[in-house]
Amino acid sequence: MGSFDFITLFFLVAAVIIFLQLRSVLGKRTGNERPPVDPYSPREAADGPETSGKVVQLPRRDGAGEEISRYAEIDAFTKAGTPLNDALRQMADADPGFDPKEFVNGAKMAYEMIVMAFADGDRKTLKGLLSRDVYDGFDAAISERESKGEVVKSTFVGIEKADMVHAEIKDSEANITLRILSQLISATYDKAGAIVDGDGEAVSEVNDLWTFSRDIRSRDPNWKLIATESEN
């Protein structure tokens, strides 16, 4: 009888120890646990896995999601399947940070800076925004104006429209052409203060085709004006 009691007591002690160890590893139930996930439940299939009430988006292995995301901004900007869209997609492939909408916004800012810098004869600003050939042309025009003692007074009213009309990649050079419709008050005055060109009060519309370029291999993110054409 004593032997039986000892064996019974031994197994009881062993059972208690095992229970305590399992409890320390697995934790205890409080009644607030989430029910187990049923992978075949329609709700679980629709909602997907959750963590703290937030849906966890798992990466797609086929890469389709990444491609859609890369081209989403371009397809929203211009119709898919067009030559312009195809060229912009190539630019996005070469430069993942390229955003056509942001490019147009930056080009509009550059347009105003260039127009006003030319009127003011600000060569320093122009040199940072223009290609060498275009800068040489602007510099020659400013020099001719200075030699005659003429002064340009301009007020930039604003840009009414800026549309991207062409884009292409030649070797490593990305080129984008914009048709820009702006409003400007501008007049050129001679030494005596008389107007020799333009109008000092009237707002005139200026319709330009400007082409910007950037070497996509370069770490320099800035675009430069490489060609201008007036459509007035």
pLDDT at residue 49, rounded to an integer:
42
**Tens digit of each residue's pLDDT (9 = 90 or more) over 73-115:** 999 999 999 999 999 999 999 988 899 999 999 999 999 999 9
How many of the other CB atoms lie within 10 Å of CB of 177? 19
Q: Tell me the whole-structure pTM to 2 decimals.
A: 0.70
- The answer to whether the Cα torsion of 190, 196, 200, 206 is positive or negative is negative
pLDDT at residue 100, rounded to an integer:
96
Q: Which residues of 133-169 are buried (b: 16+ CB within 10 A; e: fewer)?
A: ebbeebbeebeebeeeeebbebebeebeebebeebbe
Residue 7: pLDDT band by 50, 70, 90 thresholds? Answer: low
pLDDT at residue 12, rounded to an integer:
52
Residue 30, pLDDT > 50, answer no
Residue pair 116/156 in contact by the 8 Å Cβ criterion = yes
How far is it, in rounded angstroms, from Cα 229 to Cα 170?
Answer: 20
Name the class of domain 65-230. Answer: alpha beta
Helix (H, G, I), strand (E, B) or coil at 45: helix
Residue pair 179/209 in contact by the 8 Å Cβ criterion = yes
Contacts 24+ apart (CB under 8 A), 134-140: 134/224, 134/225, 134/226, 134/227, 134/228
Residue 231: pLDDT band by 50, 70, 90 thresholds? Answer: confident
How far is it, in rounded angstroms, from Cα 88 to Cα 68?
Answer: 14
Q: Which residue has the tokens 């510099």?
A: 139
Residue 63, pLDDT > 80, answer no
Radius of gyration of the chain from Cα atoms?
35
Q: What is the mean pLDDT of the chain?
A: 80
DSSP states of 20-41 as a string?
HHHHHHH----S-PPPPP-TT-
Q: Which residue has the tokens 């501008």?
A: 186
Residue 176: pLDDT band by 50, 70, 90 thresholds? Answer: very high
pLDDT at residue 67, rounded to an integer:
56
**123: its two tokens:** 């060569």
Length of the chain: 232
Higher pLDDT, 159 or 54: 159
Higher pLDDT, 54 or 118: 118
How far is it, in rounded angstroms, from Cα 187 to Cα 151?
Answer: 8
What residues does each domain of the chain span? Answer: 65-230
**50: its two tokens:** 């959750």
Residue pair 135/127 in contact by the 8 Å Cβ criterion = yes
